[in-house]
Structure 1
Amino acid sequence: MAGPETAGPRGIAGADKRKLGLIGAIALVMGNMIGSGVFLLPASLAPYGWNAVLAWVVVTAGTLVLAWVFAALTKAKPEARDPAGFVTAAFGDLPAFFVNWAYWVSVWTANVSIAVAAVSYTSAFVPAIGETAFMPALSAIVLLWAMTLINLRGVRAAGNFQIVTVLLKVIPLIAIVVIAAIVLGDGRGEVRAFEMAELNGVDLRAAAAFTLFALLGFECASVAAARVENPDVNVPRATMWGTALTGLLYLLVCSAVALMLPQDIVAQSPAPLALFVEEFWAAGPAALVSLFAIISCVGALNGWVLMQGELPRAMAERGTLPAWYGRTDSRGTPVRALIASSLIATVCLALNASRSMQGIFEFVLLLSTSAALWLYLVVALAAWRLKIVRPFALVGAIYAVWTLWGAGIEASGWSLVLMLAGYPLYWWARQKASRGPVASAE
């Protein structure tokens, strides 16, 4: 990319101060994966018992396979730069545009749901937020734009913020694991008895649908490869390490809560992690879990806001979106793409302002998850066609189809409609012949 993004002074070690290092890239992956879900999932998974534990193993394994496919493609095709480039190399520009467009929709709708979740947790400390009809949506809009302002300062500022929030958000998760180990060690607690007859395909698939939601985001380092130092090395490492560490934390935390507390109580709890801490420690530390849940949401929102700017910028550089989206400032920040994405998310929040917080959350979560699944499937198929890690690509494609099936026909249908909705902009960009690199605007 021409302009300030690739020019200018570098640090002592030759690192571009406007890009993410390995730690920042790992933080981006983990920060985007660890959002609001882990604080609520044990309640959803409690009825499935050991099927939920097996679901975590299966889904984490499947996600690691897809992560390895993304990592292998990054190594083998560094010139492709990101998942859209892999799809372009395998199938051409139009299929790449469709999956990238759907993924962009997935990102800004995810931002809406995460912002609403953060506001929902905050309402426990500030009840007035939930007492007025339009306050939840308005509060979510304020939080969304606060994260947008941080990202407008540049990717390095967003990356540093992400590292801090990741360190904070894993504290309660690690605390749950430590408490569980201590309680089991001194005999004060026990794990629900395992029965082979309890395992079945129906419950496993249902539990897997929940666990899948929590693992979306492993591809973030690959999508933002243009903003990562030494991407052919750091992106694969960040993808695999971030996915593995997050999957392990989820498995231990959710299994401990779901299997060490009474099933009916956990299933009815609005704050299952806090319930676990209160049961085996004290009420004071349990109250802090809600605070950490807010931090977790804010950190995830920061990372996804970064992504919502990077995607349209990269698409504009390829000429599949109008060049306007690709303009950057002197720090290489895609200001126009960031603002445009946040404006769309704001409109989505405003149109749903009359809904409850839960209503908004559920509405946009459906759109976000289903749209992201197509990217995973098509990238796996691209790896197969390009003859890169074919056994993993085949397993990854099968896993993606299985998860699409689990998401339901309605969700998959909406995601296909959203793909087609972006075609007019693609046609316009092609008519403008915006195929070359986009110069940065000083």
Structure 2
Amino acid sequence: MTSSKNKLGLWTSTSLVVGNMIGAGVFLMPAALASFGSVSLLGWVFSAIGSFFLARVFGNLSVLLPQSTGGPYAYTQHGLGNFAGFLVAWGYWIAVACANAAITISFVSALSTFFPLLAHSAVAAVLTGLCTIWFLTWINTLGVVASGNVQLVITILKLLPLLIISLGGLFFIRVKNFHPFNSSGTTVFGAITATATMTMFSFVGIESATIPAGSVNNPGKTISRATMLGLLIATLVYVLGSISIMGIIPAKTLQHSLTPYADAAVIMFGADARYWVSAGIAIAAFGALNGWTLIQGQVPFAIAKDQLFPVLFTRQNKKGVPYAGMLISSTMVSVFMTMNYTKGLVEQFKFLLLLSTLSVLIPYLFSSASYIIIRIEKKHHSTGGWLSAITLGTLAFAYSLWAIAGSGQNAVYWGFILLMAGIPFYVWVLYQNKKPGKTSIGTIQE
């Protein structure tokens, strides 16, 4: 039995949630919302409420199925069966690889403030990106505790500049900058819907603590607490940051800003502040990449144990890390990242990001539906009565469905194509595992 010292605790699990949710993208969000006016702050509130339902669902599922490694995959497979579970894992695996490539690009871009060569040399940018991907892959092969400790430190470092701007900025606010309330040209409800659709992607990653459940100490309690605590921290950072920046920078100026947090820091602390905000962006991207690197090994490992993925993905090293899946995933990330710096492949990379958008949201939809089924099956009263379970599951399902619709027609169409592309692979894996003389898939340690 694995010692509790070799497992993730509350704070490392929380840092995994916060670190994966708060990436480099949050630094651009105030500028993206500025054209709507201060009504966009309500968009954050609506997204946070919807995410709260999801957080409760994942928290309760971690109580009902405490040892289920794989998070959304494991819950979907248990509630809706192997095929639905496979679709969730397949799409999620590809989506994480695409997301990690995008995060790496954001990290390299932030470093270009300090090393201008990275902005002008594709070779230097690619080499930096590859070094980052494989350095973090190595860190994650040292064990889940090593990865968790790195994540905890990075999360604290990334929160510092965000909190300084979010809290310190409250003293620099000018109320007139919040007017007009709604400059979107649509109704208040329409503006809230539009901004909530934009902000909901900032809450992707809320499920992160559930995925390495087998490596979490006392998962029934720890995962639920870490998920809710992570959501609370991220929401405070998002909302307070938006309030401060919107109050510091006039909306007409803000909507054209490429570095809103840095611009606010310059107003608050002077020109040199731009550099430490850029450092904050780099740290945020680095932390998100570390957290998602851990995830990208756990998901294929979980599905391979159920004989729905090739046996290769069950291979573990002496630290209990599914290194084979992690190495394969990091190779995919490296290829996708390199595409962005290769002339002629940039559009293909953007297409892959679009392709994977739906695959990040489908696990939420399926997990919400599975929660109701599993709760009725388990009859676990500590997660509430049947009526409250059905209500919570329905609200989380409705929010997930709305989020999918809000991702856009193209994302839904191409995301569906990506999921369907996994079916031949699914059939092939089933065929391979049912060949005469084929041994049952077990965990291989090397």
Whether 2:151 is the aligned partner of 1:162: answer yes
Identity %: 32
Which residue number corresponds to residue 429 of structure 1? 429
Whether 2:162 is the aligned partner of 1:176: answer no
**Which runs of structure 2 are paired with 1:24-423 in the superposition (5 Å)?**
24-78=12-66, 80-81=68-69, 82-184=71-173, 191-193=177-179, 195=181, 200-354=188-342, 362-386=350-374, 387=376, 389-423=389-423
Whether 2:439 is the aligned partner of 1:438: answer no
Q: Note if contact 2:167-2:240 (Cα within 8 Å) is conserved in structure 1.
A: no
Could you tell me how far 1:106 is from its partner in structure 2? 1.3
Q: Note if contact 2:74-2:85 (Cα within 8 Å) is conserved in structure 1.
A: yes
Distance in structure 2 (CA, Å) of the matches to 1:360 and 1:276: 35
TM-score normalised according to structure 2 size? 0.90
Stretch deviating more after TM superposition (208-217 or 305-314)? 208-217
Could you tell me how far 1:196 is from its partner in structure 2? 7.3
Q: Note if contact 2:340-2:346 (Cα within 8 Å) is conserved in structure 1.
A: no
Could you tell me how far 1:136 is from its partner in structure 2? 3.0
Could you tell me how far 1:258 is from its partner in structure 2? 2.4
Q: Name the SS for the 2:178 alignment partner.
A: coil
Distance in structure 1 (CA, Å) of the matches to 2:338 and 2:110: 20
Q: Name the SS for the 1:218 alignment partner.
A: coil
Which residue number corresponds to residue 383 of structure 2? none
Distance in structure 2 (CA, Å) of the matches to 1:358 and 1:170: 31
Relative to 1, partners in 2 of residues 1:435 and 1:156: Cα closer, same or farther, differing over 3 Å? farther
Listed as ranges, the gaps of 5+ residues in structure 2 are: 377-385
Could you tell me how far 1:229 is from its partner in structure 2? 1.2
Distance in structure 2 (CA, Å) of the matches to 1:404 and 1:160: 34
Q: What's the CA shift string for 1:158-197, capped at 9, x where partnerless?
A: 111100100000001110122223234xxx6655146479
Q: Note if contact 2:209-2:227 (Cα within 8 Å) is conserved in structure 1.
A: yes
Could you tell me how far 1:278 is from its partner in structure 2? 1.0
Could you tell me how far 1:219 is from its partner in structure 2? 0.2
Letter in 2 for 1:279: I
Distance in structure 2 (CA, Å) of the matches to 1:91 and 1:437: 22
Q: Name the SS for the 1:283 alignment partner.
A: coil
Could you tell me how far 1:26 is from its partner in structure 2? 0.3
TM-score normalised according to structure 1 size? 0.90
Distance in structure 1 (CA, Å) of the matches to 2:359 and 2:80: 19
Could you tell me how far 1:361 is from its partner in structure 2? 7.5
Distance in structure 2 (CA, Å) of the matches to 1:178 and 1:360: 40
Could you tell me how far 1:52 is from its partner in structure 2? 1.3
Letter in 1 for 2:369: L
Stretch deviating more after TM superposition (350-359 or 171-180)? 350-359
Distance in structure 2 (CA, Å) of the matches to 1:229 and 1:254: 35
Distance in structure 1 (CA, Å) of the matches to 2:353 and 2:279: 22
Distance in structure 2 (CA, Å) of the matches to 1:427 and 1:400: 28
Letter in 2 for 1:57: V
Which residue number corresponds to residue 3 of structure 1? none
Distance in structure 2 (CA, Å) of the matches to 1:280 and 1:69: 40
Letter in 2 for 1:414: W
Relative to 1, partners in 2 of residues 1:356 and 1:136: Cα closer, same or farther, differing over 3 Å? farther
Could you tell me how far 1:416 is from its partner in structure 2? 1.5
Listed as ranges, the gaps of 5+ residues in structure 1 are: 1-5
Letter in 2 for 1:117: S
Q: Note if contact 2:139-2:146 (Cα within 8 Å) is conserved in structure 1.
A: yes
Letter in 1 for 2:288: A
Distance in structure 1 (CA, Å) of the matches to 2:10 and 2:245: 32
Q: Name the SS for the 2:290 alignment partner.
A: helix
Letter in 2 for 1:192: F
Q: Name the SS for the 1:268 alignment partner.
A: coil
Stretch deviating more after TM superposition (152-161 or 73-82)? 73-82
- The alignment covers a number of residue pairs equal to 427
Q: Name the SS for the 2:161 alignment partner.
A: helix
Letter in 2 for 1:324: L
Stretch deviating more after TM superposition (54-63 or 149-158)? 149-158
Distance in structure 2 (CA, Å) of the matches to 1:234 and 1:435: 35
Relative to 1, partners in 2 of residues 1:300 and 1:339: Cα closer, same or farther, differing over 3 Å? same
Relative to 1, partners in 2 of residues 1:292 and 1:352: Cα closer, same or farther, differing over 3 Å? closer
Letter in 1 for 2:294: L
Could you tell me how far 1:329 is from its partner in structure 2? 0.8
Q: What's the CA shift string for 1:49-101, capped at 9, x where partnerless?
A: 22310110000110111110111111123354432222122211001110111
Q: Name the SS for the 1:416 alignment partner.
A: helix
Distance in structure 2 (CA, Å) of the matches to 1:234 and 1:416: 34
Stretch deviating more after TM superposition (195-204 or 27-36)? 195-204
